[in-house]
Amino acid sequence: MNILVTGGAGYIGSHTCVELLSESHGLSVDQLIIIDNFSNSKPDMLEKVRAIAGRDFIFIEGDIRDPGKMNALFDTYAIDAVIHFAGLKAVGESTQKPLAYYDNNLTGSLVLFETMQSHGVKRIVFSSSATVYGMSNPMPLREEYPVSATNPYGYTKLVIERMLMDLAQADPGWSISLLRYFNPIGAHPSGLIGEDPNGIPNNLLPYVAKVAAGKLPALPVYGDDYDTPDGTGVRDYIHVMDLAGGHIAALEYVMRNRGVEAVNLGTGHGTSVLSIIRAFEKACGHAIPYTVTGRRPGDIGTCYADTEKARRLYGFEARRTLEEMCADGWRFAKERY
């Protein structure tokens, strides 16, 4: 089987490619083809994927918005299924540069889906996000709850989900997984690949790791007056290697079934910001300075997944502990940051 991965040099893509190349699952991947334009990643991540997997893959440097490049790719390789990670993902930046987000995420997805359609490739696993649940649903979040968005990034995920649902409606030959990730953290246990954002991180874990590595002075804790056990925000953190395993399970599912399914990938458990700090302190062996500031606009107090559908459809369950997430994240960060 030949798999195309868009955005495979990125954080989640690189870990998923390691899993795809490993022999530890029921899929037989003959050729793995990765396309990435390195807009938010570096070429050395791909070298490390090669080193960890001990297997080669085909890499194409390019932009998925380029129809000529995408047509040539699908003409050259007999692709069976696509895992589509490529996109811009920073919520705050999307409010500053909305057109860049609409162009990259929507145009990129449209060109990809059109190229797939014209080449008769109808199996896809798409990186959606828990952000599509908006701010007013009860917890745990279930896939059938209403979706909404509060920022351009979230709208791009909603529209891409819609495009794929409409495609499945128009042509029952399509087989589509919309994976709604919760909060992926951690790194491959080798410490070779992980999350390496440019500049000051937006997300909690890379920020904590940069403080732990002495690159930033203190973590801002965005509010301690939420209705949560310690007042700080609660999220469903999932180890990126578990998330990678979720993609393998979703791919196995789309190879066997038709239609479209939205599926949460999380652990089903919430962890507070202060609990994350304590767990990371254990991993790195020293205190992590922090200052409680005001709430971050657009944040909710608590967010975690209902994981029943992933278990029922994919037989998928996240297994790695918070301790492993922090230990693996720190192993990568202390070398890289």
Decide: is 204 part of the binding site for ligand WQD (CB under 6 A). yes
* Nearest to ligand NAD of 190, 292 (CB atom): 190
Tokens matching residue 195: 């999350």
In the complex, least distance from residue 109 CB atom to ligand NAD, rounded to whole angstroms: 9
Q: If we measure between CA atoms, which residue out of 207, 204, 224, 222 comes closest to residue 298?
A: 222
In the complex, least distance from residue 270 CB atom to ligand WQD, rounded to whole angstroms: 10
Q: Which of ligand WQD, ligand NAD, none lies near 207, with the C-beta cut-off 5 to 8 A by kind? A: ligand WQD
Tokens matching residue 271: 């962890």
The residues near 5 (Cβ < 8 Å, ≥ 6 apart) are: 13, 16, 17, 20, 32, 33, 34, 35, 82, 83, 85
Calculate the alpha carbon distances from 151 to 44, 87, 198 in Å. Answer: 32, 15, 21
Q: 154, 131 in Cβ contact below 8 A?
A: yes
In the complex, least distance from residue 83 CB atom to ligand WQD, rounded to whole angstroms: 16
Decide: is 303 part of the binding site for ligand NAD (CB under 6 A). no
Decide: is 280 part of the binding site for ligand WQD (CB under 6 A). no
Binders of ligand NAD among residues 115 to 154 (CB under 6 A) are 127, 129
Helix, strand or coil, per DSSP, at residue 88 = coil
- Which residues are known to be catalytic? 153
The backbone torsions φ and ψ at residue 55, rounded to the nearest 5 degrees and listed phi first, read -145, 155
DSSP 220-233: EEE-S-SSSTTSS-
- Quick one: which segment of 60-68, 167-175, 252-260, 267-275 binds ligand NAD (CB under 6 A)? 60-68
Q: By CB under 6 A, name the one of 3, 41, 81, 112 that touches ligand NAD.
A: 41
Decide: is 129 part of the binding site for ligand WQD (CB under 6 A). yes
* Nearest to ligand WQD of 298, 315 (CB atom): 298
- The amino acid occupying position 247 is H
Q: By CB under 6 A, name the one of 41, 183, 267, 271 that touches ligand WQD.
A: 183
Q: Which of ligand WQD, ligand NAD, none lies near 238, with the C-beta cut-off 5 to 8 A by kind? A: none
Calculate the alpha carbon distances from 312 to 26, 177, 183, 307 in Å. Answer: 18, 14, 21, 9
DSSP 8-state assignment for residue 314: I
Decide: is 161 part of the binding site for ligand NAD (CB under 6 A). no
Q: By CB under 6 A, name the one of 9, 29, 83, 187 that touches ligand NAD.
A: 9
**198-335-238 Cα angle (round to 5):** 70
In the complex, least distance from residue 302 CB atom to ligand WQD, rounded to whole angstroms: 9
Helix, strand or coil, per DSSP, at residue 126 = strand
In the complex, least distance from residue 94 CB atom to ligand WQD, rounded to whole angstroms: 10
User: How many residues of this chain bind ligand NAD (CB under 6 A)?
Assistant: 26
Q: 174, 258 in Cβ contact below 8 A?
A: yes
DSSP 8-state assignment for residue 322: H
Q: If we measure between CA atoms, which residue out of 302, 287, 291 comes closest to residue 232?
A: 302
Q: By CB under 6 A, name the one of 233, 245, 266, 270 that touches ligand WQD.
A: 233
Decide: is 131 part of the binding site for ligand WQD (CB under 6 A). yes
Decide: is 66 part of the binding site for ligand WQD (CB under 6 A). no
Distance (Å, whole) CA 105 – CA 39: 13
- Quick one: which segment of 7-15, 117-125, 211-219, 300-308 binds ligand NAD (CB under 6 A)? 7-15
Residues forming the site for ligand WQD (CB under 6 A): 89, 91, 129, 131, 183, 202-204, 207, 219-222, 233, 235, 273, 296, 299
